[in-house]
Amino acid sequence: MSEVDALQQTLAAEHAAVYVFGVLGGRAAHLPAPVLRAAISTAYDVHVGRRDALVALVTATGADPVPAAPAYSVTRDLGSPARVASEALRVERACLTSYGVLVAASTGADRAWAVTALVETAASELGFGGSPDPLPGMDTEFPGS
């Protein structure tokens, strides 16, 4: 995959993350879970910043940034903190995979930025119930795991 294609794929994932975390923030506001509300709010802000950075990176290549879709799929059952956290985890994992692809496809400063985003997303994933992974962003099974 080319670096521009990887940037566009990651931008598409960030568009989805911004949308879904916006929905989750609205839903979490009505739940008795202040730590979860804070984590959702922080994740939303981080994803907005990354989306904006990716738009700039794609634009710098001379390509037109992929636009956001009008809507994205969000589970309907968001009536508990556990369900909201589960949906947040799903979104973080999707972004983590995209950043893994971007790290592999990029070089120089873009790669350094992507590595930082990958590491930060892996850490955020832990806050939503994820588990540590020796190679975050990789869909790899290891013998004996």
Residue 131's pLDDT band (cuts 50, 70, 90): confident
Q: Write down the pLDDT at residue 134.
A: 64
Residues making up the chain, counted from first to last: 145
**How far is it, in rounded angstroms, from Cα 82 to Cα 60?**
40
pTM: 0.89
Nearest CA to 121 out of 54, 75, 73 is that of 54
Q: Write down the pLDDT at residue 136.
A: 59
Q: Which residues contact 9 (CB under 8 A, 6 or more apart)?
A: 1, 98, 101, 102
Check if the beta carbon of residue 89 is closer than 8 Å to that of residue 128. yes
pLDDT one-digit tens code per residue, 11-69: 999 999 999 999 999 999 888 899 999 999 999 999 999 999 999 999 999 999 999 99
Check if the beta carbon of residue 101 is closer than 8 Å to that of residue 140. no
Residue 130 gets which letter from DSSP?
-
What is the set of domains in the chain, with CATH numbers?
3-127 (1.20.1260.10)
Q: Write down the pLDDT at residue 144.
A: 46
